[in-house]
Structure 1
């Protein structure tokens, strides 16, 4: 049986903010999309399949991958966009904080990425993995202690490079975008001015800044193992 030709992107954390912007961007690129998050609504677009679920539960990853293959016949790109952030002093973190952040940021990445890579290998022709990380991995700040972000997102950055090398000969690329503070529904408008001041460019990032960076990586076949900073200059220093 032949593999369908339309490319397919799987996007986690896809109901709002960056994830919703990515669904739109990949449709504009001509991809069919499988989009998942805990509260995502059905789509009227026949080339967008939405599934509700907590990506921290490996069963959600199994359902998402199965839906992509059943509905569209392939997986070409996976964007691991789902993530949670909890910033507080190290000794204030609770076991619940740890389980929640590790569950979404690491466990949520692990199983869906395994399934995507397995399908990419089966169908041949390579593929693309994209992780969303944070520039806090590269510049710890005494003003914003965030050990769980460094622990989990730092792991994703290392995994991004490891996957790039492991699968380079099979045509599967792996990249990441490392973000500053992006203007999404996660941040109340009253905090915008203070958050803007955390970036050398003097503003928060926009969803379009992140989406544009990922679209660039999608269209850059000679780029793999890259950690692309979309952080207003934070990783360069203050």
Structure 2
């Protein structure tokens, strides 16, 4: 017999925002299936998070990984209530300086990873007539910054914002909600401690955010029955206008 608790899949779950999201869902009583490319780091997270957390290692940019995630989740827990497309990379540099391999890396994780995971999970949610998909995009895609040149991440994350709206419309008749959280600059291993003062100055709130603040927004959207197609900035006001 499968557990009757709700189950969430979180990609990029071994550290930073993804780990905070996994912890928040577990504290709420969910089962959590976490994905990451780094198997060792995922195993460390699993040891810390307990038996209601299942780690499934693999590159989410590969369709087979998305299929395996769904298969392992249904085998272990019998249901998928939430998908959080959190896995992502961010490369900021002048547009003309992006190398071909950097573009491919951004497309693989930030675009293909979201598409494949969402396709695999949406089929299950449509059949159940219930579910939530939450995409982690980026505040900078809502309001680009002169001091942070990042045209390619803006291109891809901005596209995901629009995909969120389009997919919300498509899945609404099936009682599946699709939303996005657009984080500002967050205190994760992606940002060296010595950069925090500079990053804080880029946000009207005067500080960088915490992974827990993003996780709480994700949890809210994952339980909102009448909210779909929303892109929620959690960025200290950074996307409100020129800054």
**Equivalent residue number for residue 41 of structure 1:** 43
**Equivalent residue number for residue 74 of structure 1:** 79
TM-score (norm 1): 0.95
CA shift for structure 1 position 81: 0.3
- Are 1:94 and 2:96 counterparts? no
Matches within 5 A, 1:1-238: 5-39=4-38, 40-41=42-43, 43-44=46-47, 45-124=50-129, 126-237=130-241, 238=243
Q: Provide the rounded CA distance (Å) in 2 between the counterparts of 1:186 and 1:113.
A: 25
C-alpha contact (below 8 Å) 1:3/1:123 kept by paired residues: no
Superposed CA deviations along residues 57-89 of structure 1, whole A, max 9, x for unmatched, are: 222111111111111111110000000001111
CA shift for structure 1 position 122: 2.1
In structure 2, do the counterparts of structure 1 residues 3 and 114 end up closer, same or farther at CA, with 3 Å as the change threshold? farther
C-alpha contact (below 8 Å) 2:21/2:212 kept by paired residues: no
Tell me which protein shows more helix as a share of its residues. 2
C-alpha contact (below 8 Å) 2:183/2:235 kept by paired residues: yes
Q: SS at 1:46's partner residue?
A: coil
Q: Provide the rounded CA distance (Å) in 2 between the counterparts of 1:13 and 1:228.
A: 20
TM-score (norm 2): 0.93
Q: Give ranges in structure 1 of 5+ residues lacking alignment.
A: none
Superposed CA deviations along residues 167-226 of structure 1, whole A, max 9, x for unmatched, are: 111110001011110001111100010000000010001111111111221232111111
C-alpha contact (below 8 Å) 2:32/2:53 kept by paired residues: yes
